[in-house]
Amino acid sequence: MNDQAILLVEDNQSDVDLTRRALEKRRIANELVVVRDGQEALDYLFGKGEFAGRNTGDLPSFILLDINLPRVDGLAVLRAIRGDVRTRFLPVIVLTTSQEEQDMVTSYQLGANSYIRKPVDFLQFLDAVGQMGMYWLVLNEPAPVPRSQ
């Protein structure tokens, strides 16, 4: 299991805490980096704003990206991630409460690796997050990280 952080882009504190708890329950001990909106997510990834000076070569193992976010929304974040050579291969799991088919189609078109609709039943959510974590942390062989320019 790699020890890279997991980036959670989520503005709802309850969901943040529940996600943190779900990961702990699945014994996923990787650091959980939480940012509150799309702009913060991009700042974190590209070392800007309050994350200026951060080593951008230190990428998270995967991103849990909520679609409905303040300022820059999840789909725009996804577009920016896929548009940058440094983050092009970063696994992104789109999390959403919406069951709008359009969101799902757009997410996949923009290159989401996975799309998970947060179920109301928290046990199901736990299962989903746990499986995702396992897959991306344990089973998946990460793409080579491009050197920063």
Counting contacts by CB under 8 A, is residue 98 touching other proteins?
yes
Q: Is 97 in the site for other proteins (CB under 8 A)?
A: yes
Of 40-48, 54-62, 69-77, 113-121, which segment contacts other proteins by CB under 8 A?
113-121
Cα Rg, the chain, nearest whole Å: 14
> What residue ranges in the chain does DSSP mark as E strands?
6-9, 32-35, 62-66, 92-96, 114-117
21 interacts with other proteins by CB under 8 A: yes
Q: Which residue in 3, 52, 121, 147 binds other proteins (CB under 8 A)?
A: 121
Among residues 123, 141, 144, 147, the one that binds other proteins under rule CB under 8 A: 123
Rounded to the nearest 10 degrees, the angle between the axes of helix 38-46 and helix 74-83 is: 20
Closest CA to 61 of 123, 141, 147, 125: 141
Q: Which residues contact other proteins (rule: CB under 8 A)?
A: 12, 14-15, 18, 21, 25, 68, 96-100, 118-123, 125
